[in-house]
Amino acid sequence: MSAGRSEERPQLRTDGPADRPAGWARIGRELARAWRLAPVRRGFYGSLAITIGSLTPAYLPQSSILWQPLRAAHLDGPAVKLIGTVVVLAGMWGLVDGWFRLRRVGSEMAAGWAILAVWSLPFLFAPPIFSHDAYSYAAQGWMLHNQVNPYEAGPSVLPGAFADQVAWVWRYTPAPYGPLSLQLSHLLVDLSGFEPTVATWLMRLPALAGVALIVTGLPRIARRVGADVGRVTWYACINPLLVIDFVGGSHNDALMMGLAVSALWLACRGRWWWLLGAVLVGLAAAIKQPAFLAAYVVPLLSRPLTTWRDPRQVLVAVGRSLLALVLAAATFVLVSLACRLGFGWIQALGVPGSVVTVSPSTVIGQGLQLLIDPNGHDWVRLVRGLVQTAGFASVAVFAVWLAPRQPIRALSASWLTVAFTAPALHSWYVLWGGLLLPLSSAGQRWMARLTVPVTVVLLSYAAINLAWRNGVWAIGVAAGALLLWWAYLHERAVRRRRSVGSDETAGSDETAGSDGPAGSASER
State how far the Cα of 221 lies from the Cα of 111, in Å rounded to an integer: 17
111 phi/psi in degrees, rounded to 5: -65, 145
**Residue 357 Cα distances to 60, 291, 428, 434, angstroms:** 21, 22, 13, 19
Q: Is 102 in the same domain as 156?
A: no
* Cα maximum dimension of the chain: 76
Q: Strand, coil or helix: what is 111? A: strand
User: 20 and 122: one domain?
Assistant: yes
Closest CA to 12 of 442, 496, 524, 522: 522
- Which SS3 state, helix, strand or coil, does residue 13 take? strand
Do 150 and 115 lie in one domain? The reply is no
Residue 164: which residues within 8 A CB-CB, separation 6 or more?
A: 61, 62, 63
Can you tell me whether residue 130 is helix, strand or coil? coil
Indicate if 7 and 115 belong to the same structural domain: yes
CA angle 31, 33, 34 (to 5 degrees): 65
Residue 289 covered by a domain? no
Give pLDDT, residue 509.
35
Rounded to whole angstroms, how far apart are CA atoms 306 and 67?
61
Please give the tally of structural domains in the chain. 2
Tell me how far apart the alpha carbons of residues 20 and 16 are, in angstroms, rounded to a whole number: 6
Say yes or no: 116 and 25 in one domain: yes
pLDDT of 70 reads 80
Same domain, 121 and 157: no
In sequence order, the 6+-apart residues with CB closer than 8 A to the CB of 157 are 143, 148
Dihedral angle computed from the Cα positions of residues 131, 137, 142 and 146, in that order, rounded to the nearest 10 degrees: 130
CB 43 within 8 A of CB 98: yes
Q: For residues 106 and 515, give the distance between their C-alpha atoms in angstroms, rounded to a whole number.
A: 11
**What's the confidence (pLDDT) of residue 501?**
57
- Beta-carbon neighbour count of residue 63 at 10 Å? 16
| Sign, Cα dihedral of 45, 47, 53, 56 | negative
CA–CA dist 427, 478 (Å, integer): 20
What element of type H or E holds 116?
helix 112-120
Residue 292, pLDDT score: 94
Contact 358, 425 (CB under 8 A): yes
Amino acid at 222: A
Question: Does some domain include residue 259?
Answer: no
List the alpha helices (DSSP H) in 229-348. 229-232, 240-241, 253-268, 273-287, 298-302, 311-339
Distance (Å, whole) CA 483 – CA 466: 15
Residues in a beta bridge with 111: 13
Query: Strand, helix or coil at 178?
Result: coil
Please answer whether residues 234 and 115 qualify as being in contact, where contact means their C-beta atoms are separated by less than 8 angstroms.
Answer: no
Count of alpha carbons within 13 Å of 360, Cβ hemisphere only? 13
Residue 69: how many other CB atoms lie within 10 Å: 10
Is residue 215 a part of any domain in this protein?
no
Radius of gyration of the chain (CA): 23
Domain boundary among 170, 201, 232: 201
Burial class from Cβ neighbours inside 10 Å (0-12, 13-18, 19+) for residue 313 reads middle
| Close Cβ partners of 251 (under 8 Å, ≥ 6 residues apart) | 131, 133, 134, 207, 245, 428
* 19 & 115 share domain: yes
Q: What is the pLDDT of residue 448?
A: 60
201, 236, 259 — which closes off a domain? 201
* 462 neighbors 456 (Cβ within 8 angstroms): no
Residues 25 and 87 in one domain: yes
- Which positions of the chain have pLDDT values less than 70? 1-22, 104-110, 307, 376-377, 441-449, 498, 500-524
In a domain, 333, yes or no: no
The pLDDT of residue 262 is 96
Picking from 201, 233, 256, the residue at the C-terminal end of a domain is 201
Q: What is the residue range of 117's domain? A: 1-128+444-524
Residues 99 and 149 in one domain: no
Domain assignment of residue 301, yes or no = no
Do both 54 and 156 map to the same domain? no
Same domain (yes/no): 489, 512: yes
User: How does DSSP classify residue 365?
Assistant: H
The pLDDT of residue 441 is 59
Question: In the prediction, which pLDDT does 521 show?
Answer: 37
* Domain-embedded: residue 416: no
Domain membership of residue 58 (yes or no) is yes
DSSP tag of 7: S
> Is residue 147 in a domain?
yes
Same domain, 70 and 117: yes
CA distance 95 to 244: 9
